[in-house]
Structures are given as C-alpha cells and as structure tokens.
C-alpha cells in the first residue's frame, strides 16, 4: 500500500525530518568528515555499485559550513512517496497534479530572508559548493534553478544551470543555447538590457521537480509547483528586482546576466558519462545573497548517476506516458532506463495489429528530441529490468524486418556521438512477438514457486 504524501509543508527541513522519521532505513547519515573534492560523488557511486540508493545526509564536509543532503531523486520509490503512491503509479500521479497548476502567492517573510547580503557584502566564497568529479574544472553548484520573469507579463521560467564561482560576486554558467532562458536573454539583449534573474539553490523536492518540467515557453513552472503541492507555492520578493522565489529556499542569489559578458566554464561531468566543456560561458553577476540561518546544501549528484538522470527525466517520462496512452490505448508502460542516459526508451504494449509497435516508436522518436533508440516489447516484459528487454530482443527481434532508422534529425547538444552539425540518427527496434508468433513461455506454477520460498526459508532457519 502506498504511503501518505510527504508534502504537508514547503520547507525542505521539515520534509527531510519527516522522511527520516518515517523511512529511517532509506536515509544514510554520515557523521565522518568528507572532503569537498569528490568524496560525496564517490560515496554515491560506491552505494550505486552495491545496488543501494539512499537519501544521503553528510553532516560534515570539509570547507563547507552547512550539512549536505543529496541523492534524493535516485529512487523512484522515494519520489513516489512525495505523492503518496507506489513507483509504478508515479507517472499518472505526477501528470494529474502538474496538469492542475495553482498560481503562487506572495508572503511577507520566509526563512530564506533570515540573512540578506547586498552589494559589497556579497562574497560567494561563503556559498557552499563541492567538486563532483576529478575532471570538473572546479567546485560546482549542481542544483542551481534560475528564475527569470518576463518584465511585461511577470510569468517566470525555471531551469537548471550548472554554475561555478568566477569572482567574488559572479558565477560562470551555461544557459543551454536552445532553452527558454537563452531565448529570454536574447530578448533582453534586443532591448539593450541585461536579464534580471534569481538563482534558487535548495528547495523542497516538489519545487525541484517543477523546475525540471518540460513545458511550452510562457508557462510559469511556479504554478506547476503549486499543482504538485496541491497548494499555492509561497514566494517572497528579492530585495533589488522583486523576483518571486520560494520563501523556504535554502539559498537565493539575485543578480543579472549581461548578454555580452562571458567567462570560461567547464568541463563538467554530464549525464552522458563524459565531462563536457560545451557551454554558453555566460556570467551571472550577483547583487544579493539570501539564505536561511540554518541552511543546508541540497546537492544533485551529477554525471550518469540515478539522481541526475531521474530528476531531469521523470517529468518528460510522465508527459510521454500520458501522450502515448491517450493516443495508443494498447501502451501499458514506458521507461527510460538509466543505462541509456536520456537516449534510450522502452515501451510495452498489447499489440492489437501488426505495425502498431512501429507507429508508437515513431511517435516517441518524434515527440522527444533526446531519444535515439526505442525498443518496443510485449506487456509481459518488465521494462524496468534491462535483462528482460535484452531477452525480448534476443528472442523476438529479426534485424532485417524489425529495425528502422531515421537519419539527419536534431539531437542533444551533449551527445558525444552526434555530428558536427548536432544531428543524429534514430532507431526503432520491434521486439514484440508479432501476430504469428506461436511460442509458449516456460513457466513455474505459483504452488511450486511458493514451495521453493518455504524450502529455502527453512534451510536458512527462518520461521514462516
């Protein structure tokens, strides 16, 4: 049975404490001191190698005056608990709430206003950040959500941008040249202006999920956060530019991005597993630093690890699942495996006619610009298990008739295999059985399976 949702408050501290009390076995607290140079990532990597993905609380990190919390999004079961559902119901729960946005409200005060530093008092040496990989250029903020508001409509855009310290009061960051924030920066440049922004570093996981949403330009993700909470997101205004930021955030930096100011940034360990120096090399000048007095560093483990992949991907998976099932009722499940970073997708279906799997795969490859490879399987395949999908390919797939390739399409700018022009080919693999398949899967009866469980339990001295 699913647990009650853990979103009664928008304060990350309250949420984290409630989670630790309710699910102590799913939280690992380290009291030993860790180095700020790679130790946190190394611990997460070692845990992942053991098949463990706990929420990680590091009480002491050298050179950082705050506790560090990371790896929350590494577990879909843990994310499901935000919504009070099991992991297999997560897509529907996310979409039901995201499709009911709630406009934010402004409140007069909040923890993020505990301490406010402006002008010459801003010193980013006091902003906690760690180095995640040996190949990184330096210490990075991986959980940097930039808020930019349209000066006419007030509608905000939220997006994640890796950021490193450039100067006492400036960060070097990459804005993704195809993204909404980049578009807003070009609009500001056409006005002869800088882009006023605020950077949120650490907030409730539902706010973080909203910031990762894939929505049309002009959609305010703060309202999506309200939908996920089921209540308006509580905002305070930043002192200089009046930007609306979460009242319960850990840190907020307020400033501006000059379209003509640049600084070298990268390389940085990206989701592909490679350290990328592909960057727009922008500079965010910080005018104000706001923080709660008891702030934590809420980190996102970068690189090809489960947290980074799932946080970025889950809203897209939920959207694709909804669109596919609405258009193709035969679809039963959708999954983007960590093994394929953002480039592979598995879809399960009860095929009602020949060619349907191919049509579904074409829809996915057209809807999601990151996808390169889609595998279609029958509904009795557990698509969360790579081994089962590979078995379906081995036993149901004939390359000469079940494979199709489309070439010359735009792809991810971070794909190391894409062409110099940024194009990629895309592939569909039909590993369904087809209408003329007559094989019968070997199976064990439920009686025998249960008997085996009892035999092994007795052998281990366990009473059942």
Q: What is the CA radius of gyration of the chain?
A: 23
165 and 85 in a common domain:
yes
367 and 279 in a common domain:
no
335 and 283 in a common domain:
no
Q: Could you give the CA distance from residue 135 to residue 242 in angstroms, rounded to a whole number?
A: 38
Kindly tell me if the per-residue pLDDT of 276 is higher than 70.
yes
- What is this structure's pTM? 0.89
Position 174 in a domain? yes
Position 450 in a domain? no
pLDDT band at 410 (very low <50, low <70, confident <90, very high): confident
Q: Which domain holds residue 414?
A: 328-430
Instruction: Kindly report the average pLDDT of the chain as a whole number.
Output: 91
Residues 6+ apart with CB under 8 A from 197: 146, 147, 148, 243, 254, 255, 256, 257, 284
Residue that wins the pLDDT comparison between 378 and 176: 378
> In this predicted structure, what is the pLDDT of residue 437?
83
> In this predicted structure, what is the pLDDT of residue 462?
67
382 and 278 in a common domain:
no
> In this predicted structure, what is the pLDDT of residue 5?
45
346 and 236 in a common domain:
no
338 and 228 in a common domain:
no
291 and 338 in a common domain:
no
337 and 269 in a common domain:
no
Chosen domain end from 298, 320, 351: 298
Q: Please count the structural domains in the chain.
A: 2
pLDDT band at 2 (very low <50, low <70, confident <90, very high): very low
Q: Could you give the CA distance from residue 364 to residue 366 in angstroms, rounded to a whole number?
A: 5
What percentage of residues in the chain have a pLDDT greater than 70? 97
Position 436 in a domain? no
pLDDT band at 463 (very low <50, low <70, confident <90, very high): low
Position 448 in a domain? no
Query: 226 in helix, strand or coil?
Result: helix
361 and 293 in a common domain:
no
156 and 25 in a common domain:
yes
pLDDT average, residue stretch 439-458 = 91
pLDDT digits 0-9 by tens, 89-113: 999 999 999 999 999 999 999 999 9
Position 127 in a domain? yes
Kindly tell me if the per-residue pLDDT of 4 is higher than 60.
no
370 and 286 in a common domain:
no
Kindly tell me if the per-residue pLDDT of 177 is higher than 70.
no
Specify the CATH number for the domain of residue 112. Answer: 2.30.110.10
293 and 368 in a common domain:
no
Position 396 in a domain? yes
């Amino acid at each position: 049975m699913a647990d009650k949702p853990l979103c009664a408050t928008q304060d990350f501290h309250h949420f984290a404490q409630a989670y630790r009390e309710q699910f102590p076995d799913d939280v690992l607290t380290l009291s030993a001191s860790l180095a700020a140079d790679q130790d946190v990532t190394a611990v997460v990597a070692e845990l992942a190698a053991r098949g463990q993905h706990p929420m990680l609380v590091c009480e002491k990190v050298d050179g950082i005056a705050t506790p560090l919390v990371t790896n929350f999004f590494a577990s879909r079961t843990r994310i499901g608990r935000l919504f009070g559902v099991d992991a297999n119901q997560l897509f529907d729960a996310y979409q039901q709430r995201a499709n009911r946005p709630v406009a934010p409200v402004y409140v007069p005060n909040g923890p993020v206003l505990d301490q406010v530093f402006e002008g010459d008092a801003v010193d980013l040496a006091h902003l906690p950040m760690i180095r995640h990989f040996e190949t990184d250029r330096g210490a990075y903020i991986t959980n940097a959500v930039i808020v930019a508001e349209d000066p006419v409509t007030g509608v905000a855009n939220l997006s994640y941008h890796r950021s490193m310290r450039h100067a006492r009061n400036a960060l070097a960051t990459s804005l993704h040249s195809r993204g909404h924030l980049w578009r807003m920066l070009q609009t500001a440049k056409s006005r002869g202006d800088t882009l006023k922004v605020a950077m949120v570093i650490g907030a409730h996981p539902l706010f973080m999920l909203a910031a990762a949403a894939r929505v049309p330009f002009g959609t305010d993700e703060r309202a999506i956060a309200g939908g996920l909470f089921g209540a308006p997101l509580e905002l305070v205004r930043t002192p200089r530019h009046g930007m609306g930021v979460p009242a319960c955030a850990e840190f907020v930096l307020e400033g501006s991005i000059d379209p003509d100011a640049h600084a070298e940034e990268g390389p940085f360990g990206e989701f592909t597993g490679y350290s990328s120096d592909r960057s727009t090399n922008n500079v965010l000048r910080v005018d104000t630093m706001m923080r709660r007095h008891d702030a934590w560093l809420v980190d996102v483990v970068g690189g090809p690890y489960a947290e980074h992949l799932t946080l970025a991907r889950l809203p897209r998976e939920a959207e694709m699942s909804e669109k596919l099932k609405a258009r193709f009722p035969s679809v039963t499940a959708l999954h983007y495996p960590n093994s394929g970073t953002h480039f592979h997708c598995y879809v399960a279906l009860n095929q009602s006619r020949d060619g349907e799997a191919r049509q579904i795969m074409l829809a996915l490859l057209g809807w999601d610009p990151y996808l390169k490879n889609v595998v279609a399987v029958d509904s009795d395949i557990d698509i969360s298990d790579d081994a089962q999908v590979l078995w379906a390919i081995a036993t149901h797939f004939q390359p000469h008739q079940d494979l199709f390739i489309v070439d010359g399409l735009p792809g991810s700018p971070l794909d190391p295999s894409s062409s110099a022009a940024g194009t990629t080919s895309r592939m569909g693999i039909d590993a369904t059985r087809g209408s003329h398949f007559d094989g019968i899967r070997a199976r064990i009866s439920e009686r025998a399976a249960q008997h085996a469980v009892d035999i092994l339990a007795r052998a281990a001295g366990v009473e059942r």
